[in-house]
Amino acid sequence: MTTPPKGSGPGPVSLEALFLGPQSENQEFFRSMLEFLIEEHVHWRRDFHPKDHPLLTPKEMRAPEFLATADRMREVLLDLSARLKSTSTPWFSTRYLGHMNSDTLMVSNLAQMAALLYNPNNVTYESSMATSPMEIECGQDFARLMGYDPRTAWGHITSDGTIANYEGLWLARNLKSFPAAAAEIAPELVEDRDPWALANLSIDRSLDLLDVAKRSNQLAEILRRSARGAGAGRFPLGKLLVSSTRHYSWEKAADLLGIGVEQVVRIPVTDRFRMDLNEFQEAVDRLVREKTPILGVVGVVGTTEEGAVDEIDGLVRLRDQYARRGIGFYLHVDAAYGGYGRALFLDSRGTFLPYERLRDAWGKGTERPGPESAVPSREVWAAYRAMSAADSITVDPHKMGYVPYSAGGIAIRDRRLLGLVSYSAAYVFDRDNPLDLNLGSVILEGSKAGATAAGVWAAHRVLPLNRDGYGRIIARTIEGTDHFIRTLRSMREFSAGGERIVCEPLLANPDYNIVCMAFNFKGNPSLARMNRLNEAIYHASSYESGPLYNDKWITSHTELERTIYGDAPRPFLDRLGIDPEEWARVGTVYVLRSVVMHPWLAHTSTYPEKWESYLSIMKGDIDTIVRGSKEVRPPRAGSAPGRRKG
Amino acid sequence: MTTPPKGSGPGPVSLEALFLGPQSENQEFFRSMLEFLIEEHVHWRRDFHPKDHPLLTPKEMRAPEFLATADRMREVLLDLSARLKSTSTPWFSTRYLGHMNSDTLMVSNLAQMAALLYNPNNVTYESSMATSPMEIECGQDFARLMGYDPRTAWGHITSDGTIANYEGLWLARNLKSFPAAAAEIAPELVEDRDPWALANLSIDRSLDLLDVAKRSNQLAEILRRSARGAGAGRFPLGKLLVSSTRHYSWEKAADLLGIGVEQVVRIPVTDRFRMDLNEFQEAVDRLVREKTPILGVVGVVGTTEEGAVDEIDGLVRLRDQYARRGIGFYLHVDAAYGGYGRALFLDSRGTFLPYERLRDAWGKGTERPGPESAVPSREVWAAYRAMSAADSITVDPHKMGYVPYSAGGIAIRDRRLLGLVSYSAAYVFDRDNPLDLNLGSVILEGSKAGATAAGVWAAHRVLPLNRDGYGRIIARTIEGTDHFIRTLRSMREFSAGGERIVCEPLLANPDYNIVCMAFNFKGNPSLARMNRLNEAIYHASSYESGPLYNDKWITSHTELERTIYGDAPRPFLDRLGIDPEEWARVGTVYVLRSVVMHPWLAHTSTYPEKWESYLSIMKGDIDTIVRGSKEVRPPRAGSAPGRRKG
């Protein structure tokens, strides 16, 4: 077995070489590699006992039944291809700036296609001797990316981020009930702690307790009395604290795991759309006063709608403070979207850069240095740095990992946690044991495609998870975001359909690479009228107005509701001329949302032109809309697709 | 959009044309279709605003950085291909008769590869306008396959059968707590039922209650008090009854869903390895006497180890009898393996054939009629027929659907059940509403590959889920199984290494297409010695003895333990000369296990020869083993892989 290139080879990666490209520019590489990989597989089959009789003779292959079956397969595949072509979203195009999608890495597509033919199943090592080790290796990549110690941490690939969130909560839930169950079986292990102290044992102490129980052969019996054995209702699990803008999968998670949706406490956000830590602290204090335990808190790195990065450093600080006061809870970070972004801050040895070095080195080593305005803020840097202190982290390769659907992932700081959910021998999760390759017995899922692991693995081997690899792509998307916003702000006011139109980004300097924005008629104080304008723009530039293939640009949208966002959007509305009373009355603002995932929207020879043409297309559409109806009508009833459910 | 061929076209399907083949016999079709599909995609990109500037110029594509990146991708892909070739299991070969694997359908591989390039995400319709409708269509296929009314039933594709089992249990759990929660909010809806009656309301009555609550706008409030809102511990959920040979994912399910592993009650099996219905009835009666509710029962159609088919008709009868006596519980069928087998019994209009017609028509319309000994027993037929009365059913396309990993599925008899787990408006699940295309809000998973749906859809369009399509493949695997067993029994006794060796199948007429068997030294009464012999045979014919590519045949194994199987293996042991005391003393029997999934092991021109050579290879291996050590030594320590975790 050859050693894979670790991506630390000579010279920087060419981002343009990584993708098939918006006009299939790299089709020659793609086709020739695919042909080679198919050839490899075909001969792998031929070479296995080549003297065996073939399945059928050439004559049999000319029989009418045989040919009719081939015709039928061809007919179905043509139909499939026609359907894909006529309705798929052109994610690959720089004209698409909507959801968390762009082109995906050629190497990952090719790896998946090749592995698909061998059809490995990563549920057990026996069924996937090539791809199980790749999944374990990707898990170690995730762990290193998050700043965990790969000797004691663990990670793996999930079918998506929702499943990774479930896994994090499963670990938290089973651990939360462990001390109280231990007190029943082995009171000597928990000294004379009362039920409140047991329900509030810190994560590290709970894990130590797990260790002791294992050594004294009491683990199995304790687990039988804990949530795992006796159900989620056996001991009070307490509340799960999440930001009010959380992904709806957290409610699903609380439902699925038998915790109950009503146990989810929503913490308001600041005007940066991050969890408000004062509000968090107040919520914790209130729960402590009420003697309600806290199961855990979820910090989000890269919210779905605004790309906001919660202050993980603040959450870690508070978590540690409370733990010292005897109030322990679990900290999970949902970095499904933002997780790969941590590569921005890691040098080739995996060291997290000091802020000054990050700023000084920004864009160095590329054709032209990136603008200082694009450098992540010190707050974002600090949040990313602190992720290494979280108990578990969700990260989705099919988002900022640029691999095809569906591939999520999870990293776990201390793999002793696996003892709480495993269906294999407990000693496997001792810190000094090699990692188990039989994944099915320690994860939520069962059978799982080894091809997915091959796709993620190949991407990681080409692009290391640091500044030389993924960091380079992601830096460019952040520069593209910065450029987008600066171009937007520079045009600010323009004419369309005989009206003066203004435009504002939700934030002048978002935490990551999502731009939310709204247009308004200059001087219009009506939020309802402004909402109708933006709704009409979205309608014209999305699948709602017919086949996307005819669209000149494509965006997505979101609605910020006052019941969820509180007054966070007020500064934005102020700039658009909407006053606080109007906001309180209408209670929702419709914004256009562009995720800037294409890495070549900055630093390529044609990018200024791209932005210019993008903006002029937008203006043209708005002109048509305003001209068509001075009092803009809402789009046809029943077509509103609601919030993105990704 | 063209209408897909429904597979009811002229003439029967040629099974040999469907697969790439053990020696890549159909490589021309595969390559030319793949090339066409790639071409389609390449030009789809080119044709979207073709006048846009290309990403980079030919000159830029000759830059050293560009070429170095291409080299790196090539290097990684070569490494991947080398790893896949050197360690993958040759599922495609008829020399592989181990786990639930064989070749997969070319049309499904090609459809997945094509769809992968468009990268749809079936979480919302917006992200997968081509493949979301395909998933819904496959869900309807599953529903029809199971005999459900597609107007009121529902189904979808899951990432695997484990997830489908979780979904079934999630529905059962949330429904079980609903009546008691309703009594708190709207006592008028449940009349004056006491808590015991509420905990035992039948499934149909509970669903009617859900309907009434929806109409009176009390659904949301009731759900908040039920397991969904208030956690799994709010009301007693009761026990989950499964056969003692169940897949371990059922324990994981009880853990994950907050029910508790200890709530799983294991029902012993008969000597046919099916759930013993007398034992089931006794368990139910005992629980009722103890005033413990019954959450549900899981019937298995195609157990992982023996392919046994539980008597679903008996379970349905008992479920209905108990419901009439006021003891209601949920019935889920885990047909992950056996589900597609229902196609054996359906004519082209979807009618379930009477037993006599099935028997008379067996193998008719093929080159030569199948042997009567292969016709499924009346018991198996009755079990399959009764599946239409189950509340939900797991079925895995990546098993007997012959599609690549990973694709599971679930069918739900009454889609009002979705109201219990949905995160979209409740009216969507009214019987007379069109099916929701935004899957993420009604299923366990979030983002999910549309490519998987394309793969399953294409397979179903080529092979209808009835006797003309999948039924033909599956009938052949059953005939292959029958032939395997008859050939085994005809050789019964032979010489190897100077010893007389006997061989016995676990069952002379298994329910489906799995053959378990064991060899013994003639006259040897020691179970330990017999186990060592079979362990050594497995060792020589599996990945344990080195690269599989060098193996002449490949099998799998399982161990039947007395703590799980009771005395079910006794007739088998009797035939091998092992007496009951020895069985009681040793408590485990090691058997070789061959899943016969290749459809061309019966009815092809070369099949008798294949079986002959298979048996002579086995004999040769055994000869070497016995010769090598008269007292067979166990294989190297630490290599036992344990039970299959699929």
User: Could you please report the per-residue DSSP string of B81-116?
Assistant: HHHHHHH---TTSTTEESSS----BHHHHHHHHHHH
- Distances, alpha carbon B432 to alpha carbons A63, B427, B616, in Å: 47, 10, 60
Question: CA nearest A538: which of A566, A523, A519, A524?
Answer: A519
Q: What is the pLDDT, as a whole number, of residue A613?
A: 80
- Distances, alpha carbon A548 to alpha carbons B71, B126, B450, in Å: 35, 11, 18
Crossing angle between the packed helical segments A450-462 and A106-118, to the nearest 10 degrees: 150
Tokens representing residue B42 in the block: 């390449």
Rounded to a whole number of angstroms, the distance from the CA of A352 to the nearest CA of chain B is 25
Q: What is the pLDDT, as a whole number, of residue B639?
A: 38
Q: What is the mean pLDDT of residues A454-480?
A: 96
pLDDT reading at A451 higher than 80: yes
Query: Which residue blocks in A155-276 are alpha helix, DSSP H?
Result: 161-176, 178-185, 195-198, 203-215, 219-225, 227-230, 249-256
Q: CB-CB: which of B124, B233, B543 is closest to A644? A: B124
Q: Report yes or no: B113 and A110 within 8 Å, Cβ to Cβ.
A: no
Q: What is the mean pLDDT of residues B320-349?
A: 97
Residues of B in contact with A185 (CB under 8 A): none
Residue A548: CB partners within 8 Å, gap ≥ 6?
Answer: A87, A88, A89, A90, A542, A554
Inter-chain touch A162–B11, beta carbons under 8 Å: no
Average pLDDT, chain B: 91
Write out pLDDT tens, residues B82-137. 999 999 999 999 999 999 999 999 999 999 999 999 999 999 998 999 999 999 99
Q: What is the pLDDT, as a whole number, of residue A641?
A: 39
Residues of A in contact with B109 (CB under 8 A): 116-117
Q: What is the pLDDT, as a whole number, of residue A7?
A: 42
Interface test with A, best of B13, B20, B77, B461 (most A CBs within 10 A): B77
Q: What is the pLDDT, as a whole number, of residue A643?
A: 39
Rounded to a whole number of angstroms, the distance from the CA of A392 to the nearest CA of chain B is 17
pLDDT reading at A2 higher than 50: no
Q: What is the mean pLDDT of residues B495-520?
A: 95
pLDDT reading at B645 higher than 80: no
pLDDT reading at B634 higher than 60: no
Inter-chain touch B52–A261, beta carbons under 8 Å: no
pLDDT reading at B210 higher than 90: yes
Inter-chain touch B260–A229, beta carbons under 8 Å: yes
Q: What is the pLDDT, as a whole number, of residue B638?
A: 39
Inter-chain touch B115–A2, beta carbons under 8 Å: no
* Amino acid of residue B629: S
- Three-state DSSP state, A135: helix
* DSSP state at residue B504: E
Q: What is the pLDDT, as a whole number, of residue B532?
A: 96
Q: CB-CB: which of B53, B111, B119 is closest to A80? A: B111
pLDDT reading at B273 higher than 70: yes
Rounded to a whole number of angstroms, the distance from the CA of B386 to the nearest CA of chain A is 27
The residue assigned the tokens 């010695």 is B529
Q: What is the pLDDT, as a whole number, of residue B546?
A: 76
HSE-up of residue A67 (Cα within 13 Å, Cβ side): 6
* Amino acid of residue A617: I
- The total of other beta-carbon atoms located within 10 Å of residue A10's CB is 8
Q: What is the mean pLDDT of residues A130-153?
A: 96
Q: CB-CB: which of B95, B449, B641 is closest to A49? A: B95
Residues of A in contact with B441 (CB under 8 A): 248, 645
Write out pLDDT tens, residues A274-293. 999 999 999 999 999 999 99
Write out pLDDT tens, residues A408-426. 999 999 999 999 998 875 5
pLDDT reading at A19 higher than 80: yes
- Lowest mean pLDDT segment, chosen from A196-205, A424-433, A606-615, B590-599: A424-433
Strand B408-412 versus strand B239-243 pairing type: unpaired
pLDDT band for B545, please (50, 70, 90 cuts). Answer: confident
Strand B264-267 versus strand B239-243 pairing type: parallel
- The total of other beta-carbon atoms located within 10 Å of residue B159's CB is 28
Tokens representing residue B130 in the block: 């081509």
- Lowest mean pLDDT segment, chosen from A221-235, A477-491, B5-19, B72-86: B5-19
A337 included as an active-site residue? no
Inter-chain touch B646–A124, beta carbons under 8 Å: yes
The residue assigned the tokens 């390529």 is A604
Write out pLDDT tens, residues B402-412. 999 999 999 99
Q: What is the pLDDT, as a whole number, of residue A429?
A: 54
Measured in Å, how far apart are chain A's first and last C-alpha atoms? Answer: 38
Residues of B in contact with A458 (CB under 8 A): 76-77, 80
- Distances, alpha carbon A483 to alpha carbons A490, B119, B200, in Å: 10, 27, 63
Inter-chain touch A129–B88, beta carbons under 8 Å: yes
Beta-sheet strand order (sheet of A499-505): A96-97, A554-561, A588-595, A514-521, A499-505, A493-496
Q: CB-CB: which of B61, B131, B230 is closest to A262? A: B230
Q: How far apart are CA B116 and CA B449, in angstroms?
A: 8
Q: What is the pLDDT, as a whole number, of residue A10?
A: 45
- Lowest mean pLDDT segment, chosen from A125-134, A610-619, B436-445, B631-640: B631-640
pLDDT reading at A444 higher than 60: yes
Interface test with B, best of A28, A39, A74, A83 (most B CBs within 10 A): A83
Tokens representing residue A558 in the block: 């979101």
Among the listed residues A125, A405, A427, A538, the single catalytic one is: A427
pLDDT band for A492, please (50, 70, 90 cuts). Answer: confident
Q: How far apart are CA B95 and CA A225, in angstroms?
A: 47
pLDDT band for B646, please (50, 70, 90 cuts). Answer: very low
Residue B608: CB partners within 8 Å, gap ≥ 6?
Answer: none
Nearest CA in chain A to B555: A126
pLDDT reading at A500 higher than 80: yes
Q: What is the pLDDT, as a whole number, of residue A631?
A: 52
Q: What is the pLDDT, as a whole number, of residue B408?
A: 98
Q: How far apart are CA A220 and CA A52, in angstroms?
A: 51
Q: How far apart are CA B240 and CA B265, in angstroms?
A: 6
pLDDT reading at B377 higher than 80: yes
Inter-chain touch B22–A441, beta carbons under 8 Å: no
pLDDT reading at B213 higher than 70: yes
Rounded to a whole number of angstroms, the distance from the CA of A249 to the nearest CA of chain B is 8
Interface test with B, best of A78, A121, A263 (most B CBs within 10 A): A121
Q: What is the pLDDT, as a whole number, of residue B254?
A: 97
Q: Report yes or no: A226 and A177 within 8 Å, Cβ to Cβ.
A: yes
* Interface size, chain A vs chain B, as Cβ–Cβ contacts under 8 Å: 547
Residues of B in contact with A229 (CB under 8 A): 255, 260-262
Query: Which residue blocks in A470-561 are alpha helix, DSSP H?
Result: 470-491, 527-540
Among the listed residues B96, B125, B330, B427, the single catalytic one is: B427
Q: CB-CB: which of B22, B29, B37 is closest to A81? A: B37
The residue assigned the tokens 């008379």 is B360
pLDDT reading at A640 higher than 60: no
Rounded to a whole number of angstroms, the distance from the CA of A294 to the nearest CA of chain B is 15
Q: What is the mean pLDDT of residues B502-517?
A: 96
Average pLDDT, chain A: 91
Q: What is the pLDDT, as a whole number, of residue A600?
A: 81
Inter-chain touch B88–A42, beta carbons under 8 Å: no
- Alpha-carbon dihedral sign for residues A624, A629, A634, A637: negative
Write out pLDDT tens, residues B561-595. 999 999 999 999 999 999 999 999 999 999 999 99
Q: How far apart are CA B41 and CA A113, in angstroms?
A: 15
Inter-chain touch A88–B130, beta carbons under 8 Å: yes
Residues of A in contact with B55 (CB under 8 A): 16, 21-23, 25, 600, 604, 606
Percent of chain A with pLDDT over 90: 78
More confident residue, B548 or B353: B353
Tokens representing residue B509 in the block: 């007429």
Residues of B in contact with A404 (CB under 8 A): 116, 119, 449, 451
pLDDT reading at B631 higher than 60: no
Write out pLDDT tens, residues B419-430. 999 887 555 555
Rounded to a whole number of angstroms, the distance from the CA of B569 to the nearest CA of chain A is 25
Inter-chain touch A160–B12, beta carbons under 8 Å: no
How big is chain B by its Cα radius of gyration, in Å?
27
Q: How far apart are CA A391 and CA A334, in angstroms?
A: 11
Q: Report yes or no: B147 and B140 within 8 Å, Cβ to Cβ.
A: no
Residues of A in contact with B31 (CB under 8 A): 38
Q: CB-CB: which of A46, A160, A224 is closest to B23? A: A46
Q: What is the mean pLDDT of residues A21-31?
A: 95
Whether the predicted interface score ipTM is above 0.90: yes
Q: Which residues of A83-110 are buried (b: 16+ CB within 10 A; e: fewer)?
A: bbbebbbbbbbbbbbbbbbbbbbbbbbb
pLDDT reading at B11 higher than 70: no
pLDDT reading at B235 higher than 90: yes
Percent of chain B with pLDDT over 70: 92
